[in-house]
Chains A and B, each alone.
Chain A
């Protein structure tokens, strides 16, 4: 079973701070890396799907990078706002390839942005 790990488990920042957190995954047989944002009482929503080493994706103040050779991805939030408070999940298909559409998830990073 693929091990996807995220750190830190939780993070508290002040409004306006920039922050980042990490997702690590086995670098062999890499297929894709997904980032999701999960706000309380809502559905997890997809942020990014990353496939190529060196990929950088950006959506507003949130960006992500990917290093498939060393098996990690960083998610950055610039100028955090209270509405960024959520659990951020990363996930990857197990064992490379499509794996019948399955994803293995990390335990998430819980971000709290204080006004």
Chain B
């Protein structure tokens, strides 16, 4: 079983607040990813990282930012939350040599911005 964790699992917050969604993995994977999913829609990649001090924007534009100071930790931050940020956020990790880009996922954070 994969060891990748996300906190909080659910978050309801008011507009304008700064929030950080935590993601950590204990597998030592170099590659980590953040996805956003709106109801009924596909997972969209918003950020990824190849390793420490490496971060890239994904295919879907996002106002969030990420950092990768430690291999095991890949937090996502929204400086000023808005209702349009209401969504589910999934974190994943991967390692070269795993079967054809297989990724391991956390349980997700469901964010609601009022």
Please report A residues at the B interface, Cβ cutoff 8 Å.
1, 4, 9, 31-32, 34, 36, 41-46, 49, 51, 89, 91, 93, 98-108
B102 close to A46 (CB less than 8 A): yes
A43 close to B107 (CB less than 8 A): yes
A107 close to B99 (CB less than 8 A): no
Cα–Cα, bound, A49→B102 (Å): 8
Interface of A (DSSP majority class): loop
Interface size on B, residues (CB 8 A): 28
Cα–Cα, bound, A49→B48 (Å): 21
Chain B residues with Cβ below 8 Å from A49 are 99-100, 102
19 residue pairs A–B, Cβ–Cβ below 8 Å = A1-B59, A4-B42, A9-B40, A32-B100, A32-B101, A43-B108, A46-B102, A46-B103, A46-B104, A49-B99, A51-B100, A89-B43, A101-B103, A102-B101, A103-B101, A103-B103, A106-B42, A107-B40, A108-B42
B41 close to A107 (CB less than 8 A): yes
User: Is residue B89 contacting chain A, with contact meaning CB distance below 8 A?
Assistant: no
B33 close to A105 (CB less than 8 A): no
A38 → chain B, closest Cβ, in Å?
8
State the 10 A-B residue pairs at the shortest beta-carbon distance, nearest first: A32-B100, A107-B42, A105-B43, A49-B99, A44-B105, A43-B105, A101-B31, A101-B94, A43-B107, A105-B42
A43 close to B31 (CB less than 8 A): no
Chain A residues with Cβ below 8 Å from B31 are 100-101
A1 nearest CB neighbor, chain B only: B59
Chain B residues with Cβ below 8 Å from A43 are 2, 4, 104-108
User: Is residue B21 contacting chain A, with contact meaning CB distance below 8 A?
Assistant: no
B40 → chain A, closest Cβ, in Å?
7
A31 nearest CB neighbor, chain B only: B100
